[in-house]
Amino acid sequence: MKDLVLALLVGSIVTFIFDFFIFLGMKLHYIDLHNIEVYFNTFFADNQNFLLFLFFSLLYGFLIVYIKNVKLILITLLFSALCSFSTLLYPVGSTLAHSLFMQKDVTLKYKQRLYNGDIYYDGRDMITFYHYKLEKIIQLDKKDITQ
């Protein structure tokens, strides 16, 4: 039982570190680039997939606590670190964030008007929207949108 708790704890810490760098890369190369107003903590918490987090926590915890092959552990952790740190490079972080957050060619009804454009980020209270006619990014309050 003690080893299971240790595996969950160690796996969660390792997964949290890798997740931090993935979200940091997306924040630097997508959120900040498009001047989307969202704090990192809110961005991290709102977009965290807890099933994936749990899966990787169990995987890394099991690997570190129960597997005795040091080379396998190092190769797995180095590969995972390389993948998570790669989002700090502009092309990787930007492409990942575009695929996760951007919705192309959307029509929204906001306060009795139709807006055509791209959703850059759908936050808690606001939607960051690129309006085709205005050719600029606008913020729309979610409570006033009817689709």
Domains and CATH numbers, the chain: 2-100 (no CATH), 102-146 (2.30.30)
| Rounded Cα gap, residues 35 and 128, in angstroms | 9
| Rounded Cα gap, residues 79 and 75, in angstroms | 6
Question: pLDDT tens, 57-67?
Answer: 999 999 999 99
**Angle between the N-to-C axes of helices 90-101 and 2-26, in degrees from 0 to 180, rounded to the nearest 10:** 100
Would you say the pTM of this structure is higher than 0.85? Answer: yes
Asked if the model's pLDDT at residue 147 lies above 70, the reply is no
Q: How confident is the model at residue 44 (pLDDT cuts 50, 70, 90)?
A: very high
Q: Which helix (H) or strand (E) element contains residue 55?
A: helix 50-66
Asked if the model's pLDDT at residue 1 lies above 90, the reply is no
